[in-house]
Structure 1
């Protein structure tokens, strides 16, 4: 397979209820992340073979997720509540592949940047810091 068209990817926000209901955010034009990374721990010693540094895996970081949206205040201003909330909220990214792969994660909104150019559409970039381990299903 050469690739999968990204059209139809959804970013969903959980309502915090039980059972939790996820609602797709309107007018998303781009989804980036999560940007997984991992620290390394230097375990080099005087006995390391051939004077090569040695490492083991350290703490993992779920990174960030960023969204670009066609900004519509009526659709997106409720997300300012997420920015004001200190507790992580549940989110999902649902991909349009045949298996409908879903990345689920808790995150804290860390950025909401709107722009209103005189010669283009209203737009906004939303940034979320992943808290804990994302799950893929």
Structure 2
């Protein structure tokens, strides 16, 4: 059998403390995606490229974004609105529910906080984080 049930995946927010930073799960997450890693390519094609095929080398890498949908609890999540005002990146961890608790650690800036309050459904919000620097996988 292959695959892992995603239930239990957590996005954790660091408190910035030193020397021992504490990470707390962002409550009520209903969906998490990212980081969306990508890489630029640099065109190095020349008049001498074999058989007229374009050639490329790897360029700069981008950690992309992490998106989180939550059941919005204002009292629980309003600290995240404060993060939106902060220009400095914060440490986050994306922890998967596999036996090894595989973890992506990264710095990010909250770039989007969008509450949604439909008359016929739950109060929710979508959060977007821009990853800065290199995410690490452990």
- Tell me the TM-score normalised to structure 1 length: 0.99
The corresponding residue for 1:8 is: 8
Alignment correspondent of 1:117: 118
Is residue 88 from structure 1 mapped to residue 95 from structure 2 by the alignment? no
SS for the counterpart of 1:92 is strand
Give how far 1:98 is off.
1.1
- Tell me the distance in 2 between the aligned counterparts of 1:70 and 1:105: 23
Is 2:24 the partner of 1:29? Answer: no
TM-score, normalized by length of structure 2?
Answer: 0.98
Task: Give 5+ residue unaligned stretches, structure 2.
Answer: none
Q: How far apart, in 2, do the equivalents of 1:22 and 1:99 lie?
A: 18
Q: Deviations over 1:28-70 (max 9, x none)?
A: 0000000000000000001000000000000000000000000
Match of 1:136 in 2: 137
Cα RMSD, aligned residues only: 0.5
Residue 76 of structure 1 corresponds to 77
In the alignment, the residues of structure 2 paired with residue 98 and residue 49 of structure 1 have an alpha-carbon distance, to the nearest angstrom, of 48
1:2 to partner: Cα distance: 1.4
Residue 94 of structure 1 deviates from its aligned partner by 0.4
CA–CA separation in structure 1 for the residues paired with 2:62 and 2:11: 20
For the residue of structure 2 that corresponds to 1:79, the secondary structure is helix
Instruction: Give the equivalent residue in structure 1 for 2:67.
Output: 66
Runs of 4+ with deviation above 4 angstroms: none
